[in-house]
Amino acid sequence: MMRETTDVRHGFRLRALIAVLWRGGVRVHEALALSESDLGPRRGSLLVRNGKGGRRREIGMDAWGWEQLRPWLAVRVELPVGPLFCVVDGPTRGRPWSSAGVRVEFRRLAALAGPAQITGGVSAPG
């Protein structure tokens, strides 16, 4: 699915979110609640302030995950202060990106990628 993202702001945001979800192992609502102050690139960690059960936890993310996040962070500094994963365009730019909006983007990417891409290139028999 990441191959289907574009090299523009929206694609950078989506690729960064996928990397945080996949490599950091956070839930969508936890990723959407992150702010830039929750990122610890030197330590390779993300701070989830209000996770499952209201628990606070620090999670690790590998170098590849940080590499995918970097282009979005470069774009993010041009937007109003707010959540890390925010609306990019329009009158609500800088405000929280909704989980419904994320699901719409994931469905769109999945349709573009097709079933072989989503399953890692393994097709169903028959």
pLDDT tens readout for residues 60-96: 999 999 999 999 999 999 999 999 999 999 999 999 9
Residue 119, domain member (yes or no): no
Report pLDDT digits (tens) over 11-55.
Answer: 899 999 999 999 988 999 999 999 999 999 889 999 999 888 888
pTM (predicted TM-score): 0.82
Query: For the chain, how many structural domains are there in total?
Result: 1
Select the more confidently predicted residue: 104 or 7: 104
Here the tokens at position 93 are 């730019």
In our burial notation (b when 16+ CB lie closer than 10 A, e otherwise), range 51-71 reads beeeeeeebebeeebbebbeb
Domain that holds residue 40: 2-112
Residue closest to 31 by CA, chosen among 13, 43, 44: 13
Show the beta-strand stretches assigned E in 25-102.
Answer: 39-40, 45-48, 57-60
CATH number for 8: 1.10.443.10
